[in-house]
A and B are shown apart, each in its own frame.
Chain A
Amino acid sequence: MDFAVVVTVEILHSIAVLVLISSGLAVIFGMMRVINLAHGEFLTLGGYVAILGHRNGLNLYFCMLVLAPVVVGLWGLIVERLVVRWLYGRLINTMLATWGLSLAMTGAFSMIFGNTMTGIPNPLGGLTVGDYQISGYSLFLIAAAALVMAVITIVLKATRAGLIARGAMQRPDMAQAFGLNISHVYMTTFAAGAALSGLAGALLAPLVGLGPGSGANYIAKAFITVISGGASVVTGTIVSAGLFGSISQVFTLVTSSVGGEIALLVAAVVLLRLMPIGITGRFFKGWT
């Protein structure tokens, strides 16, 4: 029984990590059809901002929940204005440009922070469940992921900004005809996606060792989750993260870490063969 609780928490934790690392990408790709290959570096930047802020005496939760998203969001704004906005609708060019950006950011990280691993101490201790120990921070991450999904849903569904964003994404010409400034909508959406990436990177920082190349560890999983999820930002992310998180964690428990990764990839390939436009392309149509 106790072990079942531990396993459940591990599975939820795994899902939460997938939700967090892919939510920023989901917003940018799902809504704007822009493939941001620098997504991993946005995550890393969030981690570095949190670490630097904490080292300079700021409160850890402030650094993770406020400082990192704000800084990375601003960085996203700059990137959108300088690079991405000239390339809307040109998929390959955007990929090349953001790939170049990711290389440049990795280089800059190693110049500024050195090519060593850094980290911040985990703020929460362990919890005892019967004979077992679980990480208190896992529960915090699960709550954070749920909250992020809830906030995105509310913003998209219940606010005027969300309505405008969705409208502008679906029919940009129509939205423009209503007098909306499409360029500003895109800019804000990109910055919001970047801010979400920054938040995710900062939240992961106390769990992992962070180095200049850390982004590469996440990007494949983030893309698999987003592409398999399909067009709906929230539903797609939750459904595919839920599916892949459970599959990889169950297989890791039963076989090994390699088994878990293989199971995840096989599941993704099968899924995309059956549903080429993602889960929400077939089911949950019209969901947010």
Chain B
Amino acid sequence: MINRRQFLATTAATAGALALPSIRAAQASEPIKLGSILDVSGIFDAYGKPMDMAATLAVEELNAGGGLLGRQIQKVSYDTQSDMALYTQFAQQLVRSDQVHVVHGGILSASREAIRPTLRKAKIPYFYNVLYEGGVCDRNIVCTGITPAQQIEVLVPAAIEKFGKKVYVLAADYNYGQITAKWMSHYVSQSGGSVLATEFFPLDVSDFGATIAKIQEAKPDLVLSALVGGAHLSFYRQWAAAGMKDRIPLASSTLGSGNEHLVLTPQEGNGIMVAYSWSPSIDAPAAKAFLDKWKARFGDVATINEFAVNNYQGIHLWAEAVKKANTVDHDPVIEALESGLAIDGPSGKVTIDPQTHHAVLDMQLMEIRDQSLAVIKSFSQRQPIDTQKFCDLKANPDDNKQYEIDI
């Protein structure tokens, strides 16, 4: 004989047990949610829009191939409107109400640092797919863009060999510019050259007349520029307007990453040396296939930039990790990423460095020719040596900060 309470308990348990498989089945067919958080409007939209298009392309491509683990991928995206405050808000939303399995996004370092703690706490893998100043050491994040050392170690020795040893450095006066200028000086002295002067410019400075006079007085063989943004673009125009372009050559770590070479006329831009991981003129099947797919989906390949390619590759790296781990759970996915995971992306082979969670990438040394980036020389699989100097996630898996790289 059973009393009423026992009867209720047993019935509930039985009903629960019977329902369990159907809940599991429902879960299996539910989509995997990929959170995307980017500035698709506002003052950074020139970066954010192509990145968002790249994310759409990558997700559609994965779904067309049957999705991941037999489940479709659903892209949950938020437009942060170039407003840092919205990053924190939307990151909370992705974690709490959308319950995504991974987040790709963030453009400025400030936006990355705004959402990194939230995602780390929630144990949601975070992919930051933009070139930046380096130094982030956190087991929950994967940085798939190039860092200054990766770029400068290719650019500076080549420029010095071609143009001469006396160098004048111009850089934007904030975190990225300061760190990049340090790496420039480092590689200039490594290549046997000398830095005559380093000058920093606030981001809103657009008058470079006095600087151009000073550079002429110093008579360098080469000017290295890490100038950033629209106001600084004025330098290249004023330099050409003064007739300096034929006298002293330029190399830059920033020009062209946001398609700036399309704004400069051929007379203003031709011959400036740059180095990035992506160029539309890379002669490889994966790069050509990417351009074709982009063209088929969006019509015009002119919008593609380094950032878009990085975002596309970041999503494919995550997909590879999920396939390898055979689950979307946090720890197995991170472990899969740390197994020396690599993909063949549009920019070439991209490998995750287990020590830093940064990408090992192919670099292209290029020259601006008639508003296009022409590859002069390719460098295979460059390590993020700046971040490797400080960050070792194998030795300190609980590390959680951005090191200020000082050399």
A10 at the interface (CB under 8 A from B): yes
* Complex Cα gap A261–B231 (Å): 15
**A14-64 interface (Cβ within 8 A of B):** 14, 17
Q: B209, A217: Cβ atoms under 8 Å?
A: no
Task: Tell whether, in the assembled complex, residue A17 and residue B207 are in contact, meaning their CB atoms are under 8 Å apart.
Answer: yes
B43 in the interface (beta carbon within 8 A): yes
Instruction: Please tell me if B46 contacts chain A, counting CB pairs below 8 Å.
Output: yes
Q: Do A138 and B209 touch across chains, with their CB atoms under 8 A apart?
A: yes
Most buried by A among B46, B173, B213, B264: B213
25 A-B pairs with CB atoms under 8 Å apart are A10-B210, A117-B263, A119-B237, A119-B263, A122-B241, A126-B241, A126-B242, A126-B244, A127-B243, A133-B247, A135-B238, A135-B243, A207-B234, A207-B238, A208-B231, A208-B237, A211-B230, A212-B43, A214-B230, A216-B204, A217-B206, A249-B209, A249-B210, A261-B202, A261-B205
Task: Please determine whether B206 and A133 come into contact, CB atoms closer than 8 angstroms.
Answer: no
Q: Chain B, 225-253, contact with A by CB distance < 8 Å: what is the 0/1 string?
A: 00000110110011011111001000000
Q: How large is the interface on B (under 10, 10 to 19, 20 to 34, 35 or more residues)?
A: 35 or more
Measured CA separation A260–B241 after assembly (Å): 22
- Residues facing B in A91-137 (CB within 8 A) are 110, 114-119, 121-122, 124-128, 131-137
Query: Given A135-B242, A217-B206, A121–B265 Cβ distance below 8 Å?
Result: yes
In the complex, are the beta carbons of A119 and B233 less than 8 A apart? yes
Asked if A213 is at the interface (CB within 8 A of a chain B CB), the reply is yes
Bitwise interface map of B from 64 to 78 toward A, beta carbon under 8 Å scored 1, else 0: 000000000000000
Binds B, one of A65-73, A158-166, A250-258: A250-258
Chain A residues in 8 Å Cβ range of B247: 133
Which residues B191-214 have CB closer than 8 A to chain A? 199-202, 204-207, 209-214
Question: A7 on the interface (CB 8 Å rule)?
Answer: yes
Q: Which residue of B lies closest to A208 (CB)?
A: B234
Closest CB in chain A relative to B107 CB, distance in Å: 13
Closest B residue, CB atoms, query A253? B210
Contacts of B233 in A (CB 8 A): 117, 119, 208-209
Binding site for B on A (CB under 8 A): 3, 6-7, 10, 13-14, 17, 110, 114-119, 121-122, 124-128, 131-138, 206-214, 216-217, 249, 252-253, 256-258, 260-261
Chain A residues near B267 (CB-CB < 8 A):
121
In the bound complex, residues from chain A placing their C-beta under 8 Å from that of B230 are 117, 209-211, 213-214
**Contact yes or no, B268 A128, CB < 8 A:** no
A-B contacts besides A121-B267, A133-B244, A256-B200, 4 pairs, CB < 8 Å: A14-B209, A125-B243, A213-B230, A257-B201
B260 near A: Cβ within 8 Å? Answer: yes
Specify which chain A residues have a CB less than 8 angstroms from the CB of B211 in the assembled complex: 252, 257
A13 and B200 CA atoms in complex are apart in Å by: 21
- Asked if A258 and B231 sit within 8 Å, CB to CB, the answer is no
The reply on B406 being an interface residue by CB < 8 A is no
Q: Min CB distance, A264 to chain B, in Å?
A: 11
Asked whether B199 lies within 8 Å of A118 as measured between CB atoms, the reply is no
Nearest CB on B from A113, distance (A): 12
- Choose one: A13, A126, A216; the contact of B209 (CB below 8 Å): A13
